[in-house]
Amino acid sequence: MMLNADTVLFAVLGDPVSHSLSPVMHNQALSDVGYNGVYLAFRVKDIGKVVSGIKALDIKGASITIPHKVSVIPFLDELDDTAEKIGAVNTIINRQGVLTGYNSDCLGAVKAISEKTAIKDKDVVIIGAGGAARAIGFGIISEGGRVTVLNRTVGKGEKLARDLGSEFQHISNLKKTKCQILINTTPVGMIPDTDAMPVKSDDLEKTMVVMDVIYNPLKTRLIKEAENIGCMTIDGISMFVYQGVFQFELWTGKKAPVEVMKKAVLKRITS
């Protein structure tokens, strides 16, 4: 990769961000299509100041990750219709100083789940109440699924459930909740705390399809425990790559090399 005065800058903004494989995925894709750009990771606490920096430095696009997917919104100039309905942003594009927020988590999750099972008329339990949960919940409902939000913090969980028009249960009530598809949207189980699980092993049923949005490690403890009892599982790679494909094409105007992006991520995780 040749860096010069014309190199376009992209970034992922979050806290923590050291685990992110977005730079690996996007830099490989940029190289593959011959686009003069580079993608970097920045650990960010004050998202408002950093959004101002996007304009000042003419950063063309940014990925937004935990914990800024909702708090970033007031600092943007415009929102895409889907992002506005969801109330969470994971993608920013800078068009001549006008920052527009999008949400590709929704699309990524729906594609990943649909590869394995139908969503329509399914009882889907979403663990967590952050930006990813909000986006995925919106996607599931749009596809005709029924959502129940499970969260430890009652107030936050109830608010998301109200916003989605869905049910809420405390996370301890999973056993009592109808669940055909279980989706973890929390960071519980992410590197370095890989022994952690968002629910108890005993709460899992072999009839469930279990998805974890965490992609590093590739197989979280939740996924391993689900596989051990015979569940169909969906790791976080597909959702991660599909949301990245949307970002890449939005930012560059070029068709994303999907398989190249997936291989780059898998190579880094398994190496």
Tell me the C-alpha distance between 182 and 185, whole Å. 10
69 counts as catalytic: yes
Structural contact between residues 181 and 117, judged by C-beta atoms closer than 8 angstroms = yes
Tell me if the bond preceding 187 is cis, omega within 30° of 0: no
Whether 231 and 127 share a structural domain? yes
Q: Is residue 213 part of a domain?
A: yes
Q: Is residue 3 part of a domain?
A: no
Point out the catalytic residue in the list 45, 49, 60, 69. Answer: 69
Whether 201 and 258 share a structural domain? no
Whether 121 and 173 share a structural domain? yes
Whether 216 and 254 share a structural domain? no
Q: Is residue 2 part of a domain?
A: no
Q: Is residue 1 part of a domain?
A: no
Whether 225 and 250 share a structural domain? no
Whether 154 and 119 share a structural domain? yes
pLDDT digits (tens, 9 = 90+) for 153-166: 999 999 999 999 99
Whether 207 and 260 share a structural domain? no
User: Tokens standing for 207?
Assistant: 């009839």
Whether 157 and 182 share a structural domain? yes
Q: Is residue 77 part of a domain?
A: yes
Instruction: Give the structural domain span for 57.
Output: 8-103+238-270
Q: Is residue 47 part of a domain?
A: yes
pLDDT digits (tens, 9 = 90+) for 210-244: 999 999 899 999 999 999 999 999 999 999 999 99
CATH number of the domain where residue 13 is located: 3.40.50.10860
Whether 150 and 201 share a structural domain? yes
Q: Is residue 39 part of a domain?
A: yes
pLDDT digits (tens, 9 = 90+) for 21-79: 999 999 999 999 999 999 999 999 999 999 999 999 999 999 999 899 999 999 999 99
**Total domains, the chain:** 2
Whether 98 and 138 share a structural domain? no
CATH number of the domain where residue 176 is located: 3.40.50.720
Beta pairing, strands 232-234 & 167-170? unpaired
Average pLDDT of the residues of the chain: 96
Nearest residue to 213 (alpha-carbon basis) of 121, 135, 118: 135
Q: Is residue 131 part of a domain?
A: yes
Nearest residue to 238 (alpha-carbon basis) of 108, 45, 65: 108
Tell me the C-alpha distance between 183 and 128, whole Å. 9
Whether 183 and 91 share a structural domain? no
Supply the pLDDT for residue 270: 86
Whether 113 and 90 share a structural domain? no
Question: Residue 191: which pLDDT band, with cuts at 50, 70 and 90?
Answer: confident
